[in-house]
Amino acid sequence: MRKVHALSKGFPKIITSLPEADIGFKGVRGWIAQGENHQIVFFDIEPLGEISEHSHDSPQWGVVVEGVMELTLNKKTGLYKKGDEYYIPAKAKHSAKFPTRFRAIDFFGERLRYRPKVR
């Protein structure tokens, strides 16, 4: 088995061949693995500053693959690095800053959190 270096150039083709998510933020890409009642999104985010405070109707769980994220959840900020997990309850207000390139795998407890891009 080939080991993927921690500072690889991104997700492998098996992931980037999935439908790309239609995400309204410049510098944020994601690929959708669609389930019957959930989505898994493989995020690749450029160092882009901050995503403003918002909330979702369903919970979100994620794990950091590469980079650093400053996540503010209910007015408490934590620093998340490779291997760290985070959980955002449904309707919880949160924002994030990305000082470095950031890759993560996020599970959303709703079927259509993101829609695929129309090509």
pLDDT band at 42 (very low <50, low <70, confident <90, very high): very high
Q: List alpha helices for 61-102, DSSP H.
A: none
Burial zone of 84 (CB within 10 Å; 0-12 exposed, 13-18 middle, 19+ buried) = middle
Residue 83 is predicted with a pLDDT of 97
Residue 69 is predicted with a pLDDT of 97
Is the model's pTM score more than 0.85? yes
Domains of the chain listed by start with CATH number: 13-108 (2.60.120.10)
Quick check: 1 pLDDT over 60? Answer: no
Quick check: 7 pLDDT over 50? Answer: no
Among candidate residues 20, 105, 95, 90, the one with its CA nearest the CA of residue 58: 90
In contact, 38 and 90? CB cutoff 8 Å: no
